[in-house]
Structure 1
């Protein structure tokens, strides 16, 4: 059995500079959504348990720190550093989405995200019109409705399971509609809705890293430095656990989610240097959303129950997403959830 240090090193190195955790593999490699995913008995191995345990310890430490003077000082520092982003969050979202939609129009033949190809020429012009609507606040809801329509159109073309990778688009659509109309249904701010959607998107994507690590094999073969000495197997497990933990953190306490948003922003931006223009365009929307989350100064009192409840909620979210992914895949494509026998732990 490996030592704890051997499991701690890959995640720490991964956070230091790799873009593999954030590059969307479907944009760069061959994939088969209907193919047989790796069996759960292979995913839920000893390495996975160590990595998940380490991630949970980090989450609980973050929660503990939040209720201390150090946590308050960090929140105050974040408030000062991100004040301009907080003031101009909506403007930044509009400008970034405008860049994103104009880029899609220029590339042509794409529905919202690089691997969703289409021969319908009118989609490019619709996306240009949606970008134009972002110029005025009153027409922002039209862009939001356009994004929701294109998401539904892509779902009809590519299937529900494929588009389950991208609920963040629905969150962005809700943000634009609600911000443009100036409403907060049930007390939920537009930024809260897009934050939840981003968390769901990234947690789903992390499960895909465990289910289909072979999709990333060509990237790791072409850029072996990304693994930083770890085996491809351990690297992909680490990447998935880090992404899932940071995504879960987006729905947790204020300091934890703001720090997680900053780390994710750094990872996504670093991926641009590794993977270039396609990655910059494809991830521009989620990057600006993460910046808005990092700048959000909404606070609430952090109680000991937040720390105590963290393992249960984290474990429940992990189990729920694994179940949704594998059961959904079995229902839609008839694949087996478990291959062979369960490992002895």
Structure 2
């Protein structure tokens, strides 16, 4: 919890505030998977298992009931909150100009700003929401053509939001899958990928830590970035786990993103507004299922599998696209 208290500023997207080079050589896996990293992951797995155990007790049921009561208004108005927040986001992008969906994706095409304003207008009418969703998909594809697949891998949450708008506007649930679940999975993937970037390129954040040394709470920049990445990965993984665990993770993540706004101002407020409202919707979601023993027992295996998968996807994907690794990493 002490580590968590100091990670708010690190949750500002480093590409918005510091120089970066996506095509540059990432830190070797043999450096990432050090003893500190392993201890942090073991602690994270212990917390995840404890959360699952607590959820199956009367205390867990009481916490879920309390969350249901406190978040009832958010749950009732989740769609309205998403529409209003995305409207604010898109109008802000139109006002700033020269941006495709997120602050570091710059463009000289003037029509993109006006398209984003039109997409905001479509959110006024529920039946027009799918047009905004299709607009987000189009802009995501356009940005991918300009900046590459690897760069846009930071933002699959946009596709999740687009799916939410399209499905809610058409009032359908394909194969019984709720639109909120789709955007929840997209948010989890986005944050797990972003946490790997903290381990692969910790040097991107060094200027930020030098300017704001209080962020590290006395820890070395190396340990701080490892901890920030593990915390973000664990909370993101928790978004796809059991109901109480994912709701608690959504609340903590939303608090971290909101706290970062006070450090970094309106750029961070605009850039993260979409994921913040999604996290609030997840925190208010009252869907439940019985927690089984296998949820607790399987947590380490699923967590480890997710961690290994994202590390492999990041490093192998980087090698395929940029060819920066001269040989397979030694672990």
1:145 Cα offset (Å): 0.2
Cα deviation digits, residues 69-124 of structure 1 (max 9, x gap): 00000000000000000000000000000000000000000000000000000000
CA distance in 1 between partners of 2:98 and 2:329 (Å): 42
**Aligned mate of 1:217, from 203, 206, 231:** 206
Which runs of no fewer than 5 residues in structure 2 stay unpaired?
none
- Taking structure 1 as reference, are residues 341 and 254 closer, same or farther at Cα in structure 2, changes over 3 Å only? closer
The TM-score normalised by the length of structure 2 is: 0.98
Cα distance in 2 for partners of 1:165, 1:187 equals 28
5+ long unaligned stretches in structure 1: 1-11
Q: Distance in 1 between matches of 2:150 and 2:204?
A: 17
Quote how far apart the aligned CAs of 1:336 are: 1.4
1:6 maps to what in 2? none
Alignment deviations for residues 1-44 of structure 1 (CA, whole Å, 9 cap, x no partner): xxxxxxxxxxx333224423311000000000000000000000
TM-score, normalization: structure 1? 0.95
Contact 1:20 1:239 in 2 (8 A): no
Offset of residue 339 of structure 1? 8.0
Q: 1:231 aligns with which of 198, 220, 226?
A: 220
The corresponding residue for 1:189 is: 178
> Hey, what does 1:179 align to over in structure 2?
168
Residue 335 (structure 1) shift: 1.6
Give me the CA root mean square deviation. Answer: 1.1
> What is the CA–CA distance in structure 1 between the aligned matches of 2:315 and 2:326, rounded to whole Å?
6
Q: 1: CA distance between counterparts of 2:114 and 2:182?
A: 28
| Secondary structure at 2:182 match in 1 | helix
- Alpha-carbon distance change, 284 to 340 in structure 1, aligned in 2, over 3 angstroms: closer
Matches of 1:82 and 1:94 in 2, distance apart?
A: 18
Q: Tell whether the 8 Å contact from 2:6 to 2:216 is kept in structure 1 after alignment.
A: no
Match among 169, 174, 183 for residue 158 of structure 2? 169
Give yes or no for contact 2:260–2:268 (8 Å, CA) kept in 1: yes
Report the alpha carbon displacement of residue 230 of structure 1 after superposing the two structures with TM. 0.5
Partner of 1:5: none
Question: Equivalences for 1:265-276 in 2 at 5 Å?
Answer: 265-276=254-265
1:48 aligns with 2:37: yes
Checking the alignment, whether the CA contact within 8 Å between 2:6 and 2:217 is kept in structure 1 is no
Figure out how many residues of one structure are paired with residues of the other and give that number. Answer: 331
Give 1:142 deviation, angstroms: 0.2
Deviations 1:146-177 (A, max 9, x none): 00000000000000000000000000000000
Q: In the TM superposition, what are the counterparts of 1:327-342 in structure 2 within 5 Å? A: 327-336=316-325, 342=331
Task: Name the CA distance, whole Å, in 1 between partners of 2:43 and 2:146.
Answer: 40
Give the corresponding residue for 2:234: 245
Q: How big is each residue's C-alpha offset from its partner over 1:163-198, in whole Å with a ceiling of 9 and x where there is no partner?
A: 000000000000000000000001110000000000
Alignment partner of 1:208 out of 197, 201, 212: 197
CA contact (8 A) 2:196 2:314 kept: yes
SS in 2 for 1:221: helix
| Alignment CA distance shift 1:199-1:120 (3 Å) | same
1:127 counterpart = 2:83: no
List aligned pairs for 1:11-22, cutoff 5 A: 12-22=1-11
Q: Of residues 279, 286, 301 in structure 1, which corresponds to 2:275? A: 286
Secondary structure of the residue that 1:115 maps to in structure 2?
Answer: strand
Please tell me whether the aligned partners of residues 40 and 337 of structure 1 are also in contact (alpha carbons under 8 angstroms).
no
